[in-house]
Chains A and B, each alone.
Chain A
């Protein structure tokens, strides 16, 4: 079992819709969770982080964490074509407390 799993997609949503991206993780001891956005040919950009169970909102983005279910999600409201990118879920895991990434979900927002 991979430490961090994401649906690889691709996921397509129409402009203005809500995009829902999901991630599960295997290490019950993980305390910190991150979402990075990566445009094609670019490096990952941090867009959200969450440490506590529940929801955390920042503009059009909402991160949701459920530690009991070992599940973290990212909602993007009013999706825009500029949101088209690969979204990487990452958790702090391992003895070095390093970032451990999923393989990413490719999102396409259709005009």
Chain B
């Protein structure tokens, strides 16, 4: 039990639609990161939030956006969905500042784009 909960578990969308994925972390987990994992690949860093501010972003276009809320929940929004967005989306959180403590993952949301 990592204390990180993601919803929904699975989601099917069509090209051009928009999606919001949600993550709930334990109290005190100030740092939350989102990753995209394609089949057979390692997770790729999308962005990271620390105390509700985005403090880093990977090589993803602006149609990937996010928010972190005061109650330690966060969300990932993806606009104008493309077929290549089909992947497992992972949320990971940790106490303390970025990189200071190990991150633990939620179970992920598997997104399929038709």
Question: Does B associate with A?
Answer: yes
A positions within 8 Å CB-CB of B = 4, 31-32, 34, 36, 42-46, 49, 88, 90, 92, 94-104
Taking a contact as CB atoms under 8 Å apart, the answer to whether B45 and A49 are in contact is no
- In the complex formed, the residue of B with least CB distance to A101 is B42
A88 to B40, CA, bound (A): 11
Taking a contact as CB atoms under 8 Å apart, the answer to whether A43 and B102 are in contact is no
B70 to chain A, nearest CB (A): 21
Identify which of A36, A88, A90, A97 gathers the most chain B CB atoms within 10 Å of its CB.
Answer: A97
Query: Among the listed A32, A88, A102, which residue makes an inter-chain contact with B99, where contact means beta carbons less than 8 Å apart?
Result: A32
Which one of B60-68, B73-81, B103-111 contacts A?
Answer: B103-111
8 pairs, CB–CB < 8 Å, chain A vs chain B = A42-B107, A42-B108, A46-B102, A95-B56, A98-B99, A99-B92, A101-B35, A102-B42
Query: Among the listed A42, A99, A102, which residue makes an inter-chain contact with B103, where contact means beta carbons less than 8 Å apart?
Result: A99
Q: Say whether B88 faces chain A, with CB atoms less than 8 Å apart.
A: yes
Query: Among the listed B35, B98, B105, which residue makes an inter-chain contact with A96, where contact means beta carbons less than 8 Å apart?
Result: B98
Q: Would A44 and B102 be within 8 Å (CB), given that A94-B45, A98-B45 are in contact?
A: no
Identify which of A34, A43, A90 gathers the most chain B CB atoms within 10 Å of its CB.
Answer: A43
